[in-house]
Amino acid sequence: MSRRGGAAVEFGILLPVLAALLGGTTEFGWFFSRQLAVIQAARDGALAGSLTEASEDPASVAESRAREALTQADFDPASGTLTAAVASSAAGAVVTVSVTVPHSPLMGLIPVPDEHTAVTTMRLVDQ
């Protein structure tokens, strides 16, 4: 009995499994990379809003900075929702930035959420 071509047959059997593992790893990596960019945009916006001067509107500064961060991360801010609000409490005023943008799968091999969402709240400084 000849053993010629045995390695090719084994490779042919394992190739779909290896391709699925590689594709799944790539897809999850893409999703989490994009999610981290959205979280960072919300944090940047909240930080910018929390450090505003008394003459500036913290919500508009926060929203503007979050929009800029989303654009730098290759997101279209107009395709999702971006809100910034200032609320007062006994501990002081806080600015909250909420960002939601749709997710575009890289390959579509595995199911991932349809959108990225991040909410960040920071206390206003010197208000």
Give me the domain span that covers residue 52: 6-123
Print pLDDT tens along the chain (127 aa): 567 788 888 889 999 999 999 999 999 999 999 999 999 999 999 999 999 988 899 999 999 999 999 999 999 989 999 999 999 877 789 999 999 999 988 888 888 899 999 999 999 987 5
Length of the chain: 127
* pLDDT at res. 1: 53
* pLDDT at res. 5: 81
> From edge to edge, which strands make up the β-sheet containing 81-89?
81-89, 92-102, 115-123
Q: How far is CA 17 from CA 6, 12, 31, 96, in A?
A: 18, 10, 21, 44
Letter string b/e over residues 85-115, b meaning 16 or more CB atoms within 10 A of that residue's CB? ebeeeeeeebbbbbbbbebeebeeeeebeee
Number of domains forming the structure of the chain:
1
* pLDDT at res. 127: 59
Of the candidates 53, 84, 93, the residue with the CA atom closest to the CA atom of residue 66: 84
**Contact in structure between 25 and 8 (CB atoms under 8 Å):** no
In a domain, 1, yes or no: no
In a domain, 24, yes or no: yes
In a domain, 12, yes or no: yes
In a domain, 22, yes or no: yes
Name, in order, each residue with C-beta under 8 angstroms of 71's C-beta and a sequence gap of 6 or more: 77
What φ, ψ does residue 57 adopt, rounded to 5°?
A: -90, 115
Q: How far apart are the C-alpha atoms of 84 and 103, rounded to whole Å?
A: 21
In a domain, 31, yes or no: yes
* pLDDT at res. 92: 84
Q: Give the rounded distance of the alpha carbon of 43 from its chain centre.
A: 11
